[in-house]
Homo-oligomer: A and B are copies of this chain.
Amino acid sequence: MDATDRKILAILQEDSSLPVAEVASRVNLSQTPCWRRIQRMEETGVIRRRVALVDPDAIGLGLSVFVEIETGDHSAEWLERFAREVEAMPEVMEVYRMAGDVDYLLRIAVANMAEYDGFYRRLVALLPLKNVTSRFAMERVKYTTAYPVGEAATGGR
């Protein structure tokens, strides 16, 4: 992964619908080598997938809720089962296992409070949890899937 690959990544993270020829010209390369670089990054898993990003408001899922969960003392198997079940819930967009007092942090996308309440009930009914805190987002100020891939940001990796 050299500087050219990173430039390609920066472009494709913003717009993956661009023709390879266009990407190539922007990184001062001709089509084929550029195409091979993209291909290689897809094979090696640097590029995980290409997706369409949907506007949550447009499909009526504009409410983001962050859920902080303390699981309490539990076995590794219990925790694994918890993670698997939460993962399978479609409203759950992100799940992180955290350091510190909160064990898991979830981002939930729902239509409104009533729907969130439904989700919350299903969540706490799933398994016994020590503590569950809901924090509601008023506004999504920034949301990007594009990681910074410039020299400075990655430490020249």
**Residues in chain A within 8 A of chain B (CB atoms):** 1, 6, 9, 12-17, 44-56, 58-61, 64, 66, 83, 86-87, 90-100, 102, 104-105, 109, 111, 115, 135-150, 153-155, 157
Contact = CB atoms under 8 A, between A and B. Distances in A.
B59 A94 contact: no
Given A135-B100, A148-B90, A157 B60 contact: yes
Number of copies: 2
B52 A47 contact: yes
Contacts of A147: 54, 56, 59, 61, 93, 109
Contact of A54 (B47, B54, B95): B47
A45 B138 CA distance: 21
Main secondary structure of the interface of A (DSSP, over half): mixed
A155 B97 contact: no
Contact of A145 (B83, B145, B157): B145
Contacts of A104: 141
Nearest to A91: B148
Nearest to A49: B53
Contacts of A83: 141
Contacts of A100: 135-136
A59 B47 CA distance: 10
Nearest to A42: B52
A47 B52 CA distance: 6
Nearest to A141: B95
